[in-house]
Amino acid sequence: MRLTAVMPILCAFAESASPCTKWAPPWIVGPYAQEGQRCSPVSKRSHSFQTTDYVPPQATAKDALRELHDSVNSLQNKHPEALYVVAGDNHVNLKDILPMFHQHVNIATRGGNKVFTNRRGAYREALRPHLGASDHISLPLAPAYCPVSRSQKMDTKTITVWPDGAVPMLQDCFETTDWQIFREAATSESSVDLEEYTSTVLGYIRKCMEDVTTSKTITIWPNQKPWLNAEVRSLLRNRDAAFRDARRDLMAGIKRAKASYALKIQGHFNSNDPKSMWRGIRCITDYKKSDAQCPEDPALPDTLIAFFACFEASNTTTPSRLTPSPDEPPVITITTAEVRRTLQGVNPRKAPGPDGILCRILKDCADQLSEVLADIFNTSLSQARVPSCLKTSTIIPVPKTTAVSSLNDYRPVALTPVTMQCFERLVMEHLKQTIDVEKEDSHQYAYRRNRSTADAIAAVTHQALSHLENKDSYVRLLFLDFSSAFISAETGVQVGRTRNLLISVQLGPGFPHL
């Protein structure tokens, strides 16, 4: 939509016959007047409101600004995504009531000629000659903004496509696989090479996954909506072929898709899943994370490695391998049922680790993979050694703030193989059963079942209020936040505290090296 300001008159010209209606009749309050018009252009904005006001010098500016503010504010509450244009010949400062609006008339005029919109840089002015013998000028305002699809680059993403019947094929493949062959191939002189055994099994799983799936590169547009499903895309293609008829079907398809997506979002609030609930709230509020980018410095990875490794530089104590005594309890034994239950609880949406094993494979093929993975886990526990392919992680430095000023502004996020995460979860369940409750801190609320930050706040508040009931008493609270607390803790200290808590389990002679 183009605007032409013939001071003090505003004219709006649409490139097509857009349906515009008068949303409010002209009204006059005292010596000033206002007239508004509403348009519904075919664009990404639902409405466009043009307001023309006139405030002469002898009018009460305070009353005029109040009426104009109430009018524009009521419209913004009903249509927050619309385009608003406020223009007129007045001698008041509209920035006092419309601080988020921007002035587009930057050329010297006769006086208080103003054109405000709620979008910065939406129009650019072009000075035109006077109209005949009058002292009025024509000031066209042409749209200067670009659509979102043009101002931002599209993104391409490679996804894994699972054809129909891929999961049954994988299950049948793993069901008929003789997993003992891999163990025999890695066995030399009655000793199992855990490194080779694990690598060959995981490589075989990855090969089977690649045989039944295909890779596809898709294009993600910056203005793509989450409810844009396959039905809507099909209807869009029909619109190009059938024009009016297809456009009518498109509107119906979008309505069905929105209704379906709305029901999906509403279902998150009724389910006992806080993660899905917050995901729905982000969708409703259109919340987008700050696009913080890491600087393109080739030396940044080495610098981050040296920075995060400095916490272990002062730890010169080398953990020793202990020789188990005959009286010590046996090493942890993980059953196939436990592995199957853990694999079935894997979140298929999680990102895979450096091994490339997708979570969906572990979840859908839990019955077929539980036996071989249980054998790998038990062999690792008996040898007190973890294969390097399971310990390898991809460290992604995520900026904590938009503007990164130091290395401490990065948060290292590790992508560990999901197989290793399942292994850790199984070992943790066994260790938690052997912790001496008497040695456990009663004020430890993190990483404990049925404990949360709300319990910690309630406990502190209860102790403080109970103490304040005594005469002549007061309370002082000190809150400490340790920088990089987890990664700065020494490994030897963690091993010692872990051994003090565990009373009825043997972790193996190489526990410090795990």
- pLDDT tens digits along 110-154: 656 678 888 887 787 777 777 777 777 777 887 776 766 677 788
Check if the beta carbon of residue 26 is closer than 8 Å to that of residue 33: yes
- Written as six digits, the tokens of 204 are 């075989």
Reported as a pLDDT band with limits 50, 70 and 90, residue 5 is very low
Look at residue 512 in the predicted model and tell me its pLDDT.
46
Reported as a pLDDT band with limits 50, 70 and 90, residue 26 is very low
pTM for the whole thing? 0.55
Average pLDDT, the chain: 78
Q: What percent of the chain has pLDDT over 90?
A: 20
Reported as a pLDDT band with limits 50, 70 and 90, residue 171 is very high
Count CA atoms closer than 13 A to 329's CA, side-chain side: 10
Nearest to 368 by CA among 178, 211, 195, 197: 178
Q: What whole-number distance in Å separates Cα of residue 199 and Cα of residue 210?
A: 16
Measured in degrees and rounded to the nearest 5, phi and psi for residue 497 equal -65, -35
Q: What whole-number distance in Å separates Cα of residue 113 and Cα of residue 86?
A: 11
pLDDT in tens, 370-426: 999 999 999 998 888 889 898 888 888 888 877 777 877 888 888 889 999 999 999
Count the neighbouring beta carbons within 10 Å of the beta carbon of residue 106.
7
Check if the beta carbon of residue 374 is closer than 8 Å to that of residue 180: no
Nearest to 374 by CA among 342, 397, 350, 400: 342
pLDDT in tens, 44-56: 566 788 888 777 7
pLDDT in tens, 318-360: 555 555 555 555 568 899 999 999 999 999 888 888 888 999 9
Tell the residue number behind the tokens 């539980």, with chain if given. Answer: 370
β-pairing, 48-55 vs 83-90, is parallel
Within 8 A by CB and 6+ apart from 63, the residues are: 29, 30, 32
pLDDT in tens, 203-228: 999 999 999 999 888 888 777 787 88
Strands, E assignment, 154-224: 155-161, 187-188, 191-192, 214-220
Q: What whole-number distance in Å separates Cα of residue 406 and Cα of residue 387?
A: 35
Nearest to 47 by CA among 1, 102, 100: 1
- Residue 329 DSSP symbol: P
